Amino acid sequence: MNAPEKFPAPATVATASGHSHPHESARAQVAGRATYVDDIVEVKGTLHAAPILSDVAHGKLLGVDTAEALKMPGVRGVVLAADIPGDPLLATFAHDEPIFAIDKVEHIGQVVGLVVADTVMQARRAARKVRLRIEPLPAITDVREALAAQSFVLPPVTVRRGEPEQAIASARHRLAGSLEVGGQEHFYLEGQVAYALPQEQDQWHIRSSTQHPGEVQHWVAHALGLESQAVTVECRRMGGGFGGKETQAGHLAVWAALAARKTGKAVKLRLDRDDDFMVTGKRHPFAYDYQVGFDAAGLITGLKLMLAANCGFSADLSGPVADRAVFHVDNAYFLGDVEIVSYRCKTNTQSHTAFRGFGGPQGMIVTEAMLGEIARHLGLDPLDVRKRNFYGIAERNTTHYEMQVEDNILAPLVGQLEQDCGYRARRAEIARWNAQSPVIRRGIAITPVKFGISFTATFFNQAGALVHCYTDGSVQVNHGGTEMGQGLHTKVCQIVADELGIPFGRVRITATDTSKVPNASATAASSGTDLNGRAAQFAARQVRERLARFVADKQKCQPGQVIFAGGQVSAPGAVITWEQLLDDAYKSRVQLWSDGFYKTPKIHYDKHTLTGRPFYYFSYGAACTEVAIDTLTGESRVLKVDILHDVGTSINPAIDIGQIEGGFIQGMGWLTTEQLVWNAKGLLSTHAPSTYKIPAIGDVPEHFHIKLWPEANPEDNVGGSKAVGEPPFMLAISVWEALRDAVAAATGKARVRLDAPATAENVLKALKG
C-alpha cells in the first residue's frame, strides 16, 4: 500500500529530530558487539576463497596453470571463467567487464579466478602458486596517453552555451593552463567482503558489505543464471564505504557465489588490504586544459574547458561520474559563454568507480584553480573575485545545464563566514608574516560549495520502507538504504519516532534485506535520508492515520483532533498510552504495519544533452583554511579551519557535524597526502598504508570550528533537512587553494602550477616553478 503524493501535516509533537541522539549502533560498536560480515558465525563446512591476480597490465591470457596450487594443504578447488553458469560478463550498465579474465588481462590486479580452501591463509598462499601464461601487449597507464590514443570507455560528451571562443577572444584578459588531479583510495576500515550461503532449491543468501544490495542481488543472479527472486542479499552495516562499495562489492559477492556453487559449500571471500588496493577502483584521476577570458574585476566572460577522466579498463560508473563533474564545473559561479568537453579515457589500470562527491570534486577544483589564478593575475583578493562570479538573480541564475538556481544563499553564507572567521584581518596578518619569514610561508583561502542533491539518473530517486508496530509499543523499521557509519539508520529512527509521537528508544532498525524492500537504489548521492527517511515517514504516517481514525471513531471526534506525542495519544476527553492504543487497535483488527514509498519530485534530465533539472535542490557551504609551508622541504600543515555549512534543519546535529568533519578531513587527504602512483609497468606502487598516507589525528588542526547555517531547506524535504554526506568533502578545496596562496607568496609569481595532491614533492616543484 503506497502513500499518496501529498500528506497533511502530522498531528504530532517532534521530540526526536533536531536532537543529537547517539548513533543507533554506537554502544555496540564501542563494545565490539556490532556484527560485520566477517564477524558472522560461519556455518559448518564454510570454505574461504582468495583471488588469482594478473601481474601484467595488458596482455593475452594464454593459460592458467593451477597444478601446484591444487597440491597445497586444504585446497578444495579453483574457480575460473569456464565455471560461470550464467553470463561471463558482469551485469553492469556498459556490459564491458568480465567476471574473471577470459582471454586477456587489462590491469595488474585483475582477477583471473579464485582458489578455494579450508582456511583464509591456505587459500591466499595457494592463489600465489597459480602460474599465468600471459603474452604482454602495449599498456596505457596515463590519461594524457589515452587521450592521444583516443582510448575511451565511453564516447566524449560536450556541453556548450553561447559563443565561448568569441567571448574569450574579446575579453580584456585571458589565461590558459593545465592541471592534473590525482585519484584516491577509499580506505574503508572494513575491507571488501562477501559470504555466499547456498540454500535449498537453488536459492541463495548473500551477506555483503555493500551500499547497493539490490545491485548485488541482480549481479549474482545474472552470473548464476537465475532469477532475482532466487537471491537474497542482506547488509546490517558496513565499516565504511565512501562509494567504494557501490559497485565494487558486487564483484566479491559474485565471486563468492560462483565458488559456493562449484563446491556446494558456503564460501567467504575477504580481500586483504594489499589485494583490496590492487583489485578495486579508486576516485577518478582527472586532467584538465582550459582557456578563460575575464574582465578587470575578475568576472569570467568566456570559458573553454577540457576534462579527461582516467576511467581505468572498464566503464563501471565512469559515465555518471564524468557527467556530475561536468554539472559541477560551475560550483558556485555563473558561466555564461562556456564549452565543456568531457573525455572518459580507457587505461590499463583498475576500473575507477564512485567516491564521495562522485565527480563533483573533480569538476569544482579546476574552476577554483582558475579563479585563484585570475585573482593573482589581477592583483586582487581571491575571495573578492569569487564573490564577483557568484550566481545572482535574474539573468545570472541559470546553470550551464539549464537548471535555475532558486535557493541561492551563497552571498549571505560566505559573507557570514568571512565575518565570523576574521578573514580580512587574518589575510593582512599573514601578509605581514610572509614579509618577515624567509622559510615558513603561510596562505589562506575561502572557497564555497554548491552541490546538487539527487541521483542524476532520475529513476534511482525512489525508495521504499516498512514500519511494523507491535502490541507492546515497540516499532521496527526496515528500508532500502544501507548504514556505513553515516548515521542513516539513526536519522530514520528519529523520523519514525516523531511521526508516531513516541520516544526515540522505542524504534529499532533491521538489516537491509532485498526480500523486504525490493529494487532499492544505492545508498549514494547523499540521498540516503532524503529518500529512505521520507519513505519510512510515509509508512509510519499511514499507521498513525489508521490509528487516528480508530481513536476518532471511539471518541466521536475528527482524526485531526487526535494528537500523538510523548508516548501518549490524546483526543477530546481521553488520553491513552501508545502501548494501550496498539493493544486495543490490534484487538479491533486494525492494521499495525505499513509500507511507504517516495519518489523525488520536480527532477528531470536529458542524458543526451546533459540538460534539465537533475537536482531537487542544492546544498551550500564555505570553508576558510589557513596553512603553512616549509619552502625548504615542501612540507605543509593545516593551521586553522572555519566552516559554515548548510544542512537545512538538522535532524541530528551531532551526526551532521561529524559528517562535515569527516568529509573535510577526507577531502584534505585527497588534496595533500593521498597519492596513488602507478609505475611504468602499470603496477600500483602505493598499495598499503606504508606508502599510501591518509590523514592522521595529528593532521587535524586544533582550530577546527564548524557552524551550521540556520535556515530550513526551502524544498519539501524530510524534516526541512538537507543532505550532508558529500558536500563537506569539497570544502577541503580551501586547503589546496590556501597552499597555492602560500606558494605564490613564496615565489612572488602570479601563476602557480601545483598539481594535486599537494605532497611535499609537488609543493617543492611548485616553488621551483
Where are any strands of DSSP class E within 415-544? 440-453, 462-469, 475-479, 507-509, 512-513
Bridge pairing between strands 59-65 and 104-105: antiparallel
Selection from 450, 381, 422, 386 nearest residue 626 by Cα:
422
Q: Give counts: helices (H), strands (E), the chain.
A: 20, 29
Buried residues in 567-589 as b, exposed as e (16+ CB within 10 A): bbbbbeeeebebbebbbbbeeee
Q: Report the half-sphere exposure of 453 (CA within 13 A, side-chain side).
A: 31
The conformation of residue 678, written as its DSSP 8-state character, comes to B
Q: How far is CA 204 from CA 79, 89, 608, 667, in A?
A: 18, 20, 38, 39
Contact 261, 85 (CB under 8 A): yes
Which of 234, 418, 545, 726 is flagged as catalytic? Answer: 726
- Both ends of the chain: CA-CA distance in Å? 65
Mapped onto helix, strand or coil, the DSSP state of residue 476 is: strand
- Please count the residues of the chain: 769
Q: How far is CA 678 from CA 51, 141, 231, 313, 588, in A?
A: 21, 7, 38, 14, 68
Contact 559, 9 (CB under 8 A): no
- The position carrying cell 537453488 is 202
Q: Report the half-sphere exposure of 114 (CA within 13 A, side-chain side).
A: 30
Collect all residues with Cβ–Cβ distance below 8 Å to 696 and sequence separation of at least 6: none
Residue 727, preceding bond cis, omega within 30 degrees?
no
Q: Report the half-sphere exposure of 203 (CA within 13 A, side-chain side).
A: 9
368 vs 383: CA distance, rounded Å: 11
Mapped onto helix, strand or coil, the DSSP state of residue 552 is: helix
Q: How far is CA 613 from CA 319, 402, 533, in A?
A: 18, 7, 22
- The position carrying cell 600500483 is 684
Mapped onto helix, strand or coil, the DSSP state of residue 205 is: strand
Selection from 335, 346, 345, 347 nearest residue 305 by Cα:
335
Selection from 672, 653, 649, 650 nearest residue 661 by Cα:
653
Q: How many CB atoms lie within 10 A of CB 43?
A: 11
| Cell reading at 727 | 558536500
Angle at CA 91, nearest 5°, toward 89 and 94? 85
Contact 536, 496 (CB under 8 A): yes
Mapped onto helix, strand or coil, the DSSP state of residue 564 is: strand
Annotated active-site residue 726? The verdict is yes
Catalytic residue numbers, as ranges: 726
